[in-house]
A = this chain, B = another copy of it.
C-alpha cells in the first residue's frame, strides 16, 4: 500500500482541549506509519493550507506530542476564515489541490465548529469536483456546544466545569461578605447565540440557596421587573444573590444588553460587557453593592480545571478521525453518542459532513425553568456527565507545564504564492 501524508488543521476559537484532539490524530497516525507518512499541520488553519505554510509534526518528539493532551490553545494556530463555494471560488480549491499534490497529502483533518465543518465539507467535494483523491474528515470542537448529531461538542465540557466551579467559589465569597459589603455578584460567560455555557453554571446549585440564584439566558429576553423582584427576594432570603449572565442576553426588543447604554467620553458606544450593565441596573433600582467578573478567554483556556470526560472525548474524536480515514470513510465527522441508561456511557459514531455543516443546535426551551431564571432537571441530567472528572496537567515551579512545539516549517515546493481573500 502506497503511503500518503496527512494534513491536520485547527479552526475557529480555540479551547482547553482542541490540542487533545490533535494529540489523538498524531498519535494514532504514528501508530499507522505503514499507511500514513507524515502528519503535517497547517499553520493557522485553512490559511496555512492555502499559503503552503505547513508544519512538519514528525519533527516533534513523542513526549511533546503526548503533552498536547494537557495543553490548552491551538498548538498550530487557528483562524477565522471560511472557504467560499467551489463554484464561485474555484481558484482556492485548485490551490488546495496544488498544495496537497505537492506534498503528497491525501488525508485532510479539519478540527473546528460549525463554520469549520462547512469548510471541511467543501474540501471533501474536491475529489468529485476537481478529481484529486482526498479523504476529508471533520473533527468536532466548539465551546458553544452547537454542533448537530454529537451528544456534545468537545471543548464545551471544560468551559462548563470552569463556569460551575467559578460561580460556586465566587458565590461562597459574596455570601461571606454580604452583611456589611457586597450583596450581589455577577459572572458574565460566553455564549452569544445559545445559553449552554450559562446553563452549566446552574450545576453549581445543588441545594436550596446555593449559587447561582439566577441565570440570564440569551434565549430569554430580560424582563427587568421580574428580574428585580427575584434579586430582591433572593437577597431577602439568603442575604446575597449571585448571578450568571450570558454575553448574549437581549432586551425584549431583541438588542444585546451589552451594546446598550455605555458610551465613552467622546460619545462612542462602548462594548463593556453585559455584567456591568446588569450590576448598574440592580444598584440603581435596589441599591445593593455589587461585584462582577467577566471570564472571557479564561473560561475556554482553563486547561488547569478541564473536565476529564471532555479531554477523553476530545482525544477520542481525534483518534477516530484517523481510524475512519484509514477504514475508507470520507466526508464524515466522528461524533459522541450517549448510550441509553442511567449511567453516562458514550461511544463514537459518525455523521456526514454535508449534514453537519452550518447547522446550529439551540438549547431546548425545556432545559430552562419556567420562570426563565434557572435550569431544569432535564438540563442537569444532560449537563452533569460532561463535567465529570479532573485531569490536571503536570506542574513545574507552581505553574502548568504546557508544551510549546517547535513547529518547524515544511520546505515549500510551489513557486507561486497565494493571497487569501
Spell out A's residues near B (CB within 8 Å). Answer: 10, 13-14, 16, 44, 47, 71-75, 77-81, 161, 164-166, 168-170, 172-181, 185, 187, 203-204, 206, 260-265, 270-273, 276, 280, 291-298, 300-305, 307, 384, 387-390, 392, 395, 397-400, 402
**Beyond known contacts A78-B176, A169-B304: 5 more, CB 8 A cutoff:** A73-B175, A174-B297, A185-B297, A203-B399, A384-B398
A293 touches B296 (CB 8 A): yes
Nearest-CB distance from A130 to chain B (Å)? 25
| Shortest beta-carbon contacts, A-B, top 8 | A74-B176, A73-B172, A293-B296, A387-B398, A169-B301, A173-B301, A170-B297, A261-B265
B-side contacts of A300, CB under 8 Å? 173
- A260 (CB) vs chain B CBs: closest residue: B265
- The docked-state distance in angstroms from the alpha carbon of A13 to that of B170 is 12
Instruction: Give the distance in Å from the alpha carbon of A226 to the alpha carbon of B218 in the complex.
Output: 40
A174 to B400, CA, bound (A): 17
* With known contacts A168-B400, A291-B297, A303-B169, A390–B387 Cβ distance under 8 A: no
CA distance A74 to B172 in the complex (A): 8
List B contacts of A292 (CB < 8 A).
294, 296
The answer to whether A398 touches B392 (Cβ under 8 A) is: no
Of the candidates B168, B264, B294, B304, which one forms a contact with A261 in the assembled complex, judged by CB atoms under 8 Å apart?
B264
Nearest residue (CB) in B for A165 is: B304
* Residue of B296, B397, B398 touching A291 (CB-CB under 8 A): B296
Residue of B nearest to A181 (CB): B80
Closest to A389 in B: B398
Residues of B within 8 A of A174 (CB): 297
Docked Cα-Cα span, A110 to B400, in Å, equals 35
Q: A170-B298, A298-B293 are in contact. Are A165 and B77 (CB under 8 A)?
A: no
A71 to chain B, nearest CB (A): 8
Min Cβ gap A157→B in Å is 9
- Ordered by A's residue number, 21 sampled pairs between the chains whose C-beta atoms are within 8 Å are A77-B179, A78-B177, A169-B302, A169-B303, A169-B402, A170-B296, A170-B301, A173-B301, A174-B297, A261-B265, A262-B272, A263-B264, A264-B280, A270-B280, A273-B276, A273-B294, A295-B298, A304-B305, A305-B305, A388-B397, A388-B398
CA–CA, A169 and B264, complex, Å? 30
| Cβ-closest chain B residue relative to A396 | B206
**Closest B residue, CB atoms, query A273:** B276
Q: Which residues of B contact A291 (CB under 8 A)?
A: 296-297
Instruction: Kindly provide the distance from the CB of A65 to the nearest chain B CB, expressed in whole angstroms.
Output: 17
Judging by beta carbons under 8 Å apart, are B47 and A180 in contact? yes
| A297, B173: Cβ atoms closer than 8 Å | yes
A392 to chain B, nearest CB (A): 7
Instruction: Compute how far the CA of A128 lies from the CA of B198 in the bound complex, rounded to whole angstroms.
Output: 56
B307 and A398 contacting across the interface, CB-CB below 8 Å: yes
Which chain B residues border A387 with CB–CB below 8 Å?
398-399
CB neighbours of A13 from chain B (8 A): 177
Shortest Cβ gap from A403 to chain B (Å): 10
Contact A395 B390 (CB under 8 A): yes
| A302 proximity list for chain B (CB < 8 A) | 166, 169
Nearest B residue to A398, CB-CB: B387
CB distance from A327 to the nearest CB of B (A): 31
Closest B residue to A385 by beta carbon equals B398
Query: What chain B residues lie within 8 Å of A177 (beta carbons)?
Result: 13-14, 74, 78, 80
Neighbouring B residues of A298 by C-beta, 8 Å:
166, 169-170, 187, 293, 295, 298
Minimal Cβ-Cβ distance residue in B for A294: B294
| A402:B180 contact, CB within 8 angstroms | no
Bound-complex Cα distance A391 to B227 (A): 38
The CA of A177 and the CA of B89, in the complex, are separated in Å by 25
Known: A47-B179, A79-B179, A298-B295. A173 touches B390 (CB 8 A): no
